[in-house]
Amino acid sequence: MNATTLDTTQALAQVSAQWDRSILPQLKDYIAIAAKSPMFAPDWQQQGLLEQVVRNAASWVEAQKVAGLRLEIVRLPGRTPLLFFEVEGTQPNANAASSPTVLMYGHLDKQPEFDGWRSHLGPWTPVLEGDRLYGRGGADDGYAVYASIAAIQALKAQNVPHPRIVGLIETSEESGSGDLLPYIDVLKPRLGDVALVICLDSGAGNYDQLWLTTSLRGMASGTLKVQILTEGVHSGDASGVVPSSFRILRQVLDRLEDSATGRVLPASFHCAIPEERVAQAQATAAILGAPRLRRLHAVCAAHHAGPGAGFAQTHLGAYAVGHWRRRPTRFAKCWQCAAALHSVPAQFAVATLGRCRRLCASAENVAGRQLPLSGQGDVGRCIERQWLECAGHDALV
């Protein structure tokens, strides 16, 4: 007998048990493999590590024996491999060509090692401390394929009807997803009429509600070089005579940004913000408020330095802090994924579920450089506490 709604308490309990028993060991094995994205490993084909993590994930998925699931590792010449799976729908007429399909997305390629790890941690050494799993890639984005299948299993365990589901797990995302579109072109006839995309590679404000990511701040990067001399000269001869390259660089940057406020100056970088976006931002701020700011974990002095200071005090190194919630909420996103799969809202072309990665309680890069705690009083103690609690968040590494 089919259920019409998902019992989220039951789903949470099922996924929690499965996560500890089956998925966590897989993530540990995944972290130990230096499957760097092609941008950071031009010899990725010779290394064979991207192929290895894809095969490992495929083996785990096949071992789950999900009813109606078919899986394939798709390989195009000169392209990184892609894991594709499809699950037959159980809703009435779900497998008809005109019926909507849910697409679940993730990736298995990783960022490079970077530095700043604590002495007993490392990018390819999985370490579980409490509910935090340290190591490169577990949260970005190795968990995605496992969370996808766990969500589908939660539906099937309760006989909740679901639409047809397909999955794309690529291995070039950290390099800009250059190989994804060619695969989509090849697989398009098999994708069906995609009505909902669940992208397991984004963020969530909290664990109390379902979040949709509509946009993220972008980045334009480059290398700015100021050259004054053709060769090195003695500072005793040149200082005060030769223009300071630092001063020139500062003047150039001041043309782009007001150093007092952080406002970008060229008018071409500005546009009108739609009213609905302003309303959404206000609604989000009302829900999250101060906890959202605390989640950024700037050094405390920066919080009190005024709007012009921004987060200038976060010069302690490229650490970013991700605190992961304790049980029982750490697995909440899996059953939220399952709830989203149960019914496809036709009005959404693309909806991005916030990170199921949170449920992995995985934090990636932890800065371990020595911190001179010269600050005194509340600020000094807060800096110390922030530093000792830090667990790197993959968004900045």
**203 or 36, which is more confident:** 36
**207 or 278, which is more confident:** 278
Whether residue 381 is contained in a domain is answered as no
Q: What percent of the chain has pLDDT over 90?
A: 61
Q: What percent of the chain has pLDDT over 70?
A: 72
Total number of domains in the chain: 1
| CB 196, CB 340: distance < 8 Å | yes
pLDDT at 294: 64
User: What domain range includes position 360?
Assistant: 8-216+325-371
What's the mean pLDDT in 215-244?
Answer: 88
pLDDT at 306: 44
**130 or 366, which is more confident:** 130
Give yes or no for residue 37 having a pLDDT over 90.
Answer: yes
pLDDT at 104: 98
The domain that holds 51 is classified in CATH as: 3.40.630.10
pLDDT at 395: 29
What's the mean pLDDT in 123-133?
Answer: 95
**Max CA-CA distance within the chain?**
89
What mean pLDDT value characterizes the chain?
79
CA distances (Å), 238 to each of 92, 227, 229, 231, 244, in order?
A: 81, 14, 10, 12, 10
Q: Indicate yes or no: pTM above 0.85.
A: no
User: Helix count (H) and strand count (E) of the chain?
Assistant: 13, 8
**372 or 98, which is more confident:** 98
Give yes or no for residue 366 having a pLDDT over 50.
Answer: no
Q: Are strands 193-199 and 362-363 parallel, antiparallel or unpaired?
A: unpaired
pLDDT at 203: 79
Amino acid in the structure at residue 242: V
Whether residue 159 is contained in a domain is answered as yes
Whether residue 273 is contained in a domain is answered as no
What is the DSSP secondary-structure string of 47-62? Answer: H-HHHHHHHHHHHHHH
Whether residue 390 is contained in a domain is answered as no
Residue of 354, 343, 327 whose CA lies nearest to 147:
354
Highest mean pLDDT among 180-184, 219-223, 301-305, 387-391: 180-184
Residues 139-171 pLDDT 10s: 999 999 999 999 999 999 999 999 999 999 999
Instruction: Tell me the pLDDT band of 137, cut-offs 50, 70 and 90.
Output: very high
Residues 175-190 pLDDT 10s: 999 999 999 999 999 9
Give yes or no for residue 27 having a pLDDT over 50.
Answer: yes
Residues 272-315 pLDDT 10s: 999 999 998 899 889 887 666 666 666 554 544 444 333 333 32
Q: Which residues pair with 238 in a beta bridge?
A: none
Cα separation, 17 vs 331, in Å, equals: 10
What is the DSSP secondary-structure string of 70-120? Answer: EEEEE--TTS--EEEEEE---STTTTSTTSEEEEEEEE--B----S---TT
Residues 248-269 pLDDT 10s: 999 999 999 999 999 999 999 8
pLDDT at 330: 34
Instruction: Tell me the pLDDT band of 204, cut-offs 50, 70 and 90.
Output: confident
pLDDT at 296: 64
- What lies within 8 Å, CB to CB, of 372 at 6+ separation is none
Cα separation, 74 vs 70, in Å, equals: 13
Q: Give the 3-state secondary structure of residue 230.
A: coil
Give yes or no for residue 103 having a pLDDT over 80.
Answer: yes
pLDDT at 384: 33
Whether residue 147 is contained in a domain is answered as yes
pLDDT at 293: 60
Give yes or no for residue 213 having a pLDDT over 90.
Answer: no
Q: Are strands 193-199 and 100-107 parallel, antiparallel or unpaired?
A: parallel
Whether residue 257 is contained in a domain is answered as no
